[in-house]
Amino acid sequence: MAHIFNRTVLKKSNWIVLYCLVIAFIVLLYRSTSSPIYPMNLWVDSNAALTIGRGMINGTVVYRDLFDQRGPYFYFIHAISALISDHSFTGVFILEVIFSTIFLYYSYKTLLIYTTDKAAIFGLPLVSLLIYHSKAFAVGDSPEEFILPLITISFYYLLLLMHGNGTWLGNKFNLVLNGFAFGAVFWIKFNAAGFWIGWFLIFFFFLISKRKYREILPFALNFFAGFILSCLPVIMYFSLNCAWSFLIESYFIVNIFYYPSSVSFSSPIKIYAENIYQSLIQDFSFAFTMAGIILFGVTGKNERRRLERLTPLVCFIFLSLGVYVGRMAPVYYRFVFLAFTILAFVMICQALAKKLLLDELSMRYAIIFSL
């Protein structure tokens, strides 16, 4: 724990966060229509969410007085946005930049598992450009946009463990953080929480195979504490407003029983396959992501363990089952899968580091060059 408070480490971490913030701001400034350079975000869903957020800070209760079927955290985010800017999408844009900064920071940390520092620095603008130019990004302000960094956080810690660095298991903050990320996604859009089913399977199989039985109980308690922490705003809000029945009806019952387009046994499987196929042929970033998952699994056998190479595929399968089974998914649903894009950039950054001699540059010039 002492190294976390080391001045050199803190100074470097602050510069990396600032670097991620600059990239996020520049890219989202022209990619998100919530940006101040656009008159307004014309997406119906975004306007509905901001209307609900504005209503919440003015005394109306989500689901009871203003109906929609997305999770309460999505509307909490828009209530905060409305507090920042009541008559524009500027507040939404600010939160988009913050969430994108978190995504890029943990993408950087994931790259560091497999590449050098300067190669990871160089790769971050490329990651941002591909992610936010995806068709799945649409015009910005989808629930998936806020889910992406939360999945990236847990994905980083799982890959770190699989690669042989399990020191974070002894850090309660990291354990609680993973539990909070899971809970936050559950309360934004619960079908995306399928990612953590694969995450748990890999995690517990690893601990059991390594006979790390003593790690299981502390992990479970701290992870659960993080999940409960994420639930507290929901518990307080709906208890104070006596609106639990409206939450259950609108968020769970409507999404599970009324929203899907298919209820037969064979049809969901067919729709799942069609969703994957349409995503592959319609969106380069999705195809690029899938290629990264496959190549990560079949290359680097000397550097990566078998379970490590299987980790992304297992997590992707359970995430995609939650998102794609039983319904023809809109384009923006694909955005959550782009958390796995970092795997392709692991190989790209390794190649570019050798080709462009990045390790011979100072950190300052590596940042300038990458920008």
What digits encode the pLDDT tens for the residues 253-312? 999 888 755 445 558 888 899 999 999 999 999 999 999 999 999 987 777 788 999 999
85-97 in b/e form (b: 16+ CB < 10 A) is eeebbebbbbbbb
Residue 335 in contact with residue 289, Cβ under 8 Å?
A: no
**pLDDT of 260:** 57
pLDDT digits (tens, 9 = 90+) for 229-253: 999 999 999 999 999 999 999 999 9
**pLDDT of 14:** 86
**pLDDT of 293:** 96
- The average pLDDT across 342-370 equals 80
Token digits for 87? 């008559």
**pLDDT of 3:** 45
Report how far Cα 268 is from the mean position of its chain's Cα atoms.
Answer: 25
- The average pLDDT across 15-20 equals 93
Q: Computed from CA positions of residues 242, 142, 17, 172, in that sequence, does the dihedral angle turn out positive or negative? A: positive
**pLDDT of 308:** 94
Residue 111 in contact with residue 5, Cβ under 8 Å?
A: no
Check whether 340 has a pLDDT greater than 80.
yes
- Can you list the alpha helix ranges (DSSP code H) found in the chain? 7-31, 44-57, 72-84, 90-114, 117-132, 143-162, 172-186, 195-209, 216-240, 244-247, 266-282, 284-298, 306-324, 342-355, 363-370
Judged by phi (left if over 0) then psi (alpha if -120 to 50, else beta), residue 352 lies in alpha
Mean predicted lDDT score pLDDT of the chain: 91
Token digits for 197? 């089913």
**pLDDT of 365:** 75
**pLDDT of 191:** 94
Check whether 2 has a pLDDT greater than 50.
no
**pLDDT of 5:** 42
